[in-house]
């Protein structure tokens, strides 16, 4: 008899449970990432595991449907995922996991109003749910509604302060909202001191605040001269500043330093900036007297 995909999933789950409890196989967590590996893979800081620590109960059909729906969502089988999330939500209208699953699918489909209502409903039903807090915060961040993202992202981080993804995403929202001072400790704790200033500089540059972006790139280079991304962006800002002066004087603008930075990735679940080493980085130019003066002025507050 031919089994449906869900039937196969139920059979697979049952076999997995049997193997686990019979002692035939063991499942271990992935090896911990080193500090350098975390920095080079910041777009994957959530470290979500494919196999849950507690497999779904084969005696609970709704739990199995949720696990199957999440699996379908992860492999981009949106229609199948939606069908099973909706089946659980129909049977259990207050099921937070089903509501959040449908909210994520609405968001991916561009149905933003519907997604927002579902995220808010999940949070109303379960104000203590970290997943609901984080889901709503990440939704706002994906819409670049940074000020609205702060409250739910802060609540999610406080609920699970050891999750570096939550802390990192809050830091990104804080800088976009203009609160660099509050963001820096979170960046420093998740990616390091120099890298924190580099990330602040990158976001400020994205926001058009070139003067303060240059200050943070300069601090990043001072704290870690080998951080080539910061070297490259400092050189880029020098070029942009020179281009502006040349344009004002009616002279040809100097050739711009080619950008090697990884483009910003707008995602609902992943942080936006990466620290992967890029080929072809430019060599750091000697500091100008103006930059050295900026650096001297920054030193008393660099440890923030």
How many residues can be counted in the chain? 304
Q: Taking all residues of the chain, what is their mean pLDDT, rounded to a whole number? A: 74
The full DSSP string for 76-121 is T-HHHHHHHHHHHHHH-TT-HHHHHHHHHHHHHTT-HHHHHHHHHH
Global confidence as pTM: 0.66
User: Rounded CA gap, 145 and 177, in Å?
Assistant: 9
Residue 72 has pLDDT above 50, yes or no: yes
Quickly state the pLDDT bin for 295 (edges 50, 70, 90).
low
Quickly state the pLDDT bin for 55 (edges 50, 70, 90).
low
For the record, the structure tokens of 118 come out as 């579902």
Give the per-residue pLDDT at 187: 96
Mean pLDDT value across residues 223-248 = 82
Give the per-residue pLDDT at 282: 34
The pLDDT > 90 percentage for the chain reads 56
pLDDT digits (tens, 9 = 90+) for 74-86: 999 999 999 999 9
The pLDDT > 70 percentage for the chain reads 60
Give the per-residue pLDDT at 61: 83
Q: Which residue shows structure tokens 């997995």?
A: 16
pLDDT digits (tens, 9 = 90+) for 5-49: 555 555 555 544 443 333 333 333 333 333 333 333 333 333 343
């Amino acid at each position: 008899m031919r089994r449906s995909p869900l039937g196969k999933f139920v059979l697979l789950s049952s076999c997995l449970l049997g193997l686990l409890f019979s002692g035939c196989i063991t499942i271990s967590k992935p090896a911990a990432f080193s500090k350098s590996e975390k920095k080079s893979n910041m777009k994957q800081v959530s470290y979500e595991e494919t196999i849950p620590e507690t497999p779904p109960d084969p005696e609970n059909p709704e739990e199995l449907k949720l696990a199957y729906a999440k699996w379908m969502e992860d492999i981009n089988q949106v229609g199948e995922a939606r069908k099973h999330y909706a089946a659980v939500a129909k049977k259990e209208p207050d099921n937070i996991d089903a509501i959040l699953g449908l909210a994520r699918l609405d968001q991916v489909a561009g149905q933003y109003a519907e997604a927002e209502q579902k995220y808010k409903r999940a949070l109303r039903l379960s104000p203590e749910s970290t997943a609901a807090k984080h889901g709503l915060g990440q939704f706002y961040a994906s819409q670049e509604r940074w000020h609205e993202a702060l409250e739910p992202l802060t609540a999610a981080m406080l609920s699970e302060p050891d999750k570096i993804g939550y802390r990192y995403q809050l830091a990104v929202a804080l800088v976009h909202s203009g609160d660099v001072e509050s963001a820096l400790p979170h960046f420093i704790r998740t990616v390091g001191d120099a890298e924190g200033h580099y990330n602040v500089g990158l976001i400020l540059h994205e926001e058009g605040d070139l003067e303060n972006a240059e200050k943070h790139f300069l601090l990043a280079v001072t704290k870690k001269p080998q951080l080539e991304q910061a070297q490259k962006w400092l050189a880029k800002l020098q070029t942009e500043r020179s281009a502006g002066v040349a344009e004002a004087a009616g002279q040809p603008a100097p050739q711009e330093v080619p950008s090697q930075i990884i483009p910003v990735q707008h995602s609902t679940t992943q942080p936006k900036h990466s620290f992967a080493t890029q080929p072809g980085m430019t060599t750091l130019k000697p500091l100008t007297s103006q930059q050295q003066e900026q650096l001297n002025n920054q030193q008393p507050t660099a440890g923030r």
